[in-house]
Amino acid sequence: MKEQKKSLKNLNIDKNWTLFLDRDGVINKKIENDYVRNWSQFNFIPNVIDALKILRKIFGKIIIVTNQRGIGRGLMSEKDLYQIHENMLNIFKENSIYIDKIYYCPHDYEKESCECRKPQIGLILKAKEDFPDIDFKKSIIVGDSLLDMELGKKVKMVTVYISIEKFYERKELIDFKFKSLFEFAKFLKNKF
């Protein structure tokens, strides 16, 4: 992993780069076998605000891409999700953190016509449509799921896997691994 992290420093990341972030498990704590259905259940992962402050200084764009299957299953509404995101963005704003946009997939697994549920690439294609200057070869996706890693590989992004586990499957999908978004941010900060 030391060699991999050394090569991460050689990517020459600057303001032309885009950072794609998963939400649950990267920004906020996941609820195992359930969903964050409302703001009262939303809890930031420790040090994530500090991480985003660092990353905002490094990347030109920060975009959140998130599967929100709870909507498709009828466990929450899109209005619930908007409220969660509005509150989250307000806290970011209070901390001088700007998120360029949030894209989400509301569909359940059974929706055959869905092209946006990760690892499908619909969410990031929408981001590319809204921000034509995005270059996927100058993009990093950070997620705690192999679905995020698979999505990144489909469009040749750099993939960063967030996990506290020492061992993980499908290593071919993972370019770099960190224990948290904060650990990733600290590592990049040392480069700049």
Say how far apart CA 40 and CA 125 lie, in whole Å: 31
Active-site option among 14, 22, 50, 100: 22
Question: How much is the pLDDT for 4?
Answer: 56
CATH architecture of the domain 19-189 equals 3-Layer(aba) Sandwich (3.40)
Contacts with 129 (C-beta within 8 Å, 6 or more apart), sequence order? none
80 is catalytic: no
Residue-level pLDDT at 2:
47
**Candidate from 14-23, 68-77, 139-148, 151-160 with smallest mean pLDDT:** 68-77
State the chain's mean pLDDT as an integer. 92
34 is annotated as an active-site residue? no
Report whether pLDDT(48) > 80.
yes
Residue 33: predicted pLDDT? 86
pTM of the model: 0.93
Rounded to an integer, what distance in angstroms lies between the CA atom of residue 14 and that of residue 9? 11
Model confidence pLDDT, tens digit, residues 89-128 = 999 999 999 999 999 999 887 656 788 999 999 999 999 9
pLDDT band at residue 5, thresholds of 50, 70 and 90? low
The single residue of 24, 80, 144, 148 carrying the catalytic annotation is: 24
